[in-house]
Structure 1
Amino acid sequence: MIKTYYCNSNNELKETTSPKDIAEDKKWLWVDLNEPTEEEAKVLVDYFDFHELSIEDATLVQQRPKFKQYDDYQFVVFHALDLKTLEAEEVDIFIGDDFIVTYHKERFEEIDTVKRKLFNQTINLEEPKDILLNLLDDIVDNYFPFIYDIEDKVFNFEDRHNIDISTKSLIDDTFDLRQELLIIKRTVQPMRDLVYRMREGKVLHLNEQQFLYITHINDHLIKQMEMVDSSREMTSDIRDNYISLNSFKMNNIMKILTIYSVVFMPLTLIAGIYGMNFTNMPELSWHDGYYIVLIIMVIIAFIMLTVFKRKKWF
């Protein structure tokens, strides 16, 4: 579907289906291609005459966030986050002095939000660069709920530590959380690099107010990356702590079993000697021999346990 919005010479915002239908002077033009058909996509060539490489990037290949300068326009790729899968959703933007074209193969809530602001006159858009910055701001701001949600999950691990939950379950949850953080980082980090290049490259020729706006967006991306990195470090610490705790418990179990084994070794030796049933074994004819041997075995075990306790082996 293709939608066209334009601002005429009287600063009135109007809507039409195709840029070819505009019959009056315009200050700027916004063409939104939402899940376009092949016929609708031809407007990129027939009306705007964009470079074939930028059209190929927009229509055929999944791109990382990027910024390209052409003769009379710039080509930008932004990534938003899908609400359910956390996968990146691509929107391709062609922007010139008096036009902006947004091309996306899925519905973009951020674009709809900018449209509502535009028609409700809650924002003042003097030129296409203002649309670009507002769209970028909404995309970046929508990263925050995902990042805050994961940060809350990380903090909740401390509460789960006091609940009787298996270490395996906690480790599995930690790895799942780290996987989500990695997916978000794959989107946020390239976007941060892109916005930094847009701000420092001076190719958009932003005015003072627009420069402050993109600096504000860049600050948000820096904060988001710091939150993601902090959460990844915390999950690493949680994982290492639980692995260490599990190893500590296992070592204690092995230590106790080893102590029991060592205590019973001399007792087993005594039992083995008197269990050989040789004829010439004088102790076998003792009337109280059984009880004497049992007492000796108890004394040996008590002495060994006392020595181990004094050495603080358990």
Structure 2
Amino acid sequence: MIRSMLTTPDGLVHEGDENLIEQWQATPESHIWIDMQGEPEPRERELLERLKCHPMAIQDAQKERHPPKIEEFEHHTLIIYRGISSFDAQLNFVPQQVCFFIGAHFLITLHPGNALSIDRFFNEQGSTLLKESPERVALRIMYTSAGFYIDSLLEFESELSDLEDELLENGNDVLMRKLTTYRSRLVKLRRIFSYHKGITQELTAYDYTHLPRDENETLYAINDVAERFERLYTLTQMYYDICGDLVNGYISISSHQLNITMRVLTVITAIFVPLTFIAGIYGMNFEYMPELGFQYGYFFVWGAMVGIGGSLIWLFKRKNWF
């Protein structure tokens, strides 16, 4: 699907398909936004080459999984952004690569599937921002997409809080597996946000031709996006640390309980070792054993065994071993 939006210097807004390109080329100082969703690669390449996009930029944009980055070319700046197709409170997310070709008077967005942030601005505020400059649209799309990430992460905070309470009350292996799964997903999210954080740091530090920082509104938009990705990275790191603390806490509690059990078993073993030793001696079948002829030998051995056992129990209780 190819859809286009054209804003002219006299304030008119036109929506259509790639046929608006000719009208845009015939109208100086007009701005055009071309959105391509799920188009075949040859069709994408044809349209991008028509707008003088650099071949290396086209090649990077058409790679199925390219790390997010920003790169400047003669006629445009390329931003490869990792958006989302879906994201829920359990951190189940489906990433989607979104490419921005930002020129002086044009914006091209390239993505394989439905993009919520692009749909929102194409239907609502896109024309207003496009009248100002194409880079404002691109920055606002990234800002909105980051907002979807934040909303789902904040929902995950409630899920994590409930999981923490449940783990403290009745920890089990099922909850541990869930925590481990969350940690794995948070690592993936942190990697994505680390890339995005790097992009916004470059935008803040360097003056790109097609994203000029000398324009106050563009600079404010860049700072807003940078703050959101900084927050996303911080939230992801914080939740990852919390999950790690919960895992370590559960392991510590389990180890402590195991130590208590082993200590009780050790005490029982220590009590019965001397008793087993005595029973073993008098269980030997030698013909001449002096104690066997003693009239009260049986009761004497029983008394010794009870005394030894009672003394050991008293000693272990005094040391608070059980």
Q: Quick check: TM above 0.5?
A: yes
In 1: Cα distance, 2:249 partner to 2:276 partner: 40
- Tell me the residue number matched to 2:263: 255
Q: Which residue among 141, 151, 162 is the counterpart of 2:157?
A: 151
- Tell me the residue number matched to 1:17: 17
Q: Tell me if structure 2 keeps the 8 A contact 1:67–1:74.
A: yes
Q: Tell me if structure 2 keeps the 8 A contact 1:117–1:123.
A: no
- Tell me the residue number matched to 1:264: 272
Q: Offset at 1:288? A: 4.1
- Which secondary structure does the structure 2 equivalent of 1:10 belong to? coil
Q: Which residue among 54, 59, 66 is the counterpart of 2:69?
A: 66
Q: Tell me if structure 2 keeps the 8 A contact 1:86–1:184.
A: no
Q: Offset at 1:39? A: 5.1
TM-score (norm 1): 0.91
Letter aligned with residue 286 of structure 2: F
User: Is residue 2:106 matched to residue 1:99?
Assistant: yes
In 1: Cα distance, 2:21 partner to 2:268 partner: 90
- Tell me the residue number matched to 1:4: 4
Q: Which residue among 187, 212, 217 is the counterpart of 2:220?
A: 212
Q: What is the percent sequence identity of the aligned residues?
A: 24
User: Is residue 2:216 matched to residue 1:221?
Assistant: no
After alignment, is 5-14 or 124-133 more displaced? 124-133
- Tell me the residue number matched to 2:243: 235
In 2: Cα distance, 1:288 partner to 1:173 partner: 65
In 1: Cα distance, 2:162 partner to 2:263 partner: 33
Query: 5+ unaligned residues in a row in structure 2: which ranges?
Result: none
Q: Tell me if structure 2 keeps the 8 A contact 1:91–1:104.
A: yes
In angstroms, what is the RMSD of aligned CA positions?
2.1
Q: How many residues align?
A: 311
After alignment, is 50-59 or 19-28 more displaced? 19-28
In 2: Cα distance, 1:87 partner to 1:40 partner: 25
- Which secondary structure does the structure 2 equivalent of 1:151 belong to? helix
In 2: Cα distance, 1:134 partner to 1:35 partner: 22
Q: Tell me if structure 2 keeps the 8 A contact 1:54–1:75.
A: yes
Letter aligned with residue 269 of structure 2: S
Q: Offset at 1:291? A: 3.1
Q: Offset at 1:195? A: 1.2
Pairing of 1:19-34 with structure 2 (within 5 A): 19-22=20-23, 25=27, 27-34=30-37
- Tell me the residue number matched to 1:161: 167
Pairing of 1:125-140 with structure 2 (within 5 A): 125-140=131-146
Q: Which residue among 46, 56, 59 is the counterpart of 2:59?
A: 56
- Tell me the residue number matched to 2:85: 82
Measured against aligned partners, the alpha-carbon deviations of 1:109-132 in whole angstroms (never above 9, x if no partner) come to: 11101112136x776741212211
Q: Offset at 1:292? A: 3.0
Q: Tell me if structure 2 keeps the 8 A contact 1:118–1:125.
A: no
- Tell me the residue number matched to 2:179: 174
In structure 2, relative to structure 1, the CA distance for the partners of 1:292 and 1:68 (3 Å cut) is: same
User: Is residue 2:213 matched to residue 1:194?
Assistant: no
Q: Tell me if structure 1 keeps the 8 A contact 2:57–2:78.
A: yes
- Which secondary structure does the structure 2 equivalent of 1:142 belong to? helix
In 1: Cα distance, 2:184 partner to 2:156 partner: 11
Query: 5+ unaligned residues in a row in structure 1: which ranges?
Result: none
In 2: Cα distance, 1:223 partner to 1:38 partner: 35
Measured against aligned partners, the alpha-carbon deviations of 1:33-64 in whole angstroms (never above 9, x if no partner) come to: 1111345321111x212111011111235211
Q: Tell me if structure 2 keeps the 8 A contact 1:150–1:177.
A: no
Q: Tell me if structure 1 keeps the 8 A contact 2:85–2:95.
A: yes
User: Is residue 2:116 matched to residue 1:109?
Assistant: yes
Q: Tell me if structure 2 keeps the 8 A contact 1:72–1:96.
A: yes
Letter aligned with residue 22 of structure 1: Q
After alignment, is 230-239 or 150-159 more displaced? 150-159
Measured against aligned partners, the alpha-carbon deviations of 1:169-210 in whole angstroms (never above 9, x if no partner) come to: 333222111011011112111101101211221211141122
Q: Offset at 1:71? A: 1.1
In 1: Cα distance, 2:130 partner to 2:73 partner: 27
Pairing of 1:265-280 with structure 2 (within 5 A): 265-280=273-288
Q: Which residue among 33, 48, 58 is the counterpart of 1:44?
A: 48
After alignment, is 143-152 or 300-309 more displaced? 143-152
Pairing of 1:285-304 with structure 2 (within 5 A): 285-304=293-312
Q: Offset at 1:286? A: 4.2
Q: Offset at 1:20? A: 4.0
In structure 2, relative to structure 1, the CA distance for the partners of 1:70 and 1:122 (3 Å cut) is: closer
TM-score (norm 2): 0.89
In structure 2, relative to structure 1, the CA distance for the partners of 1:67 and 1:16 (3 Å cut) is: same
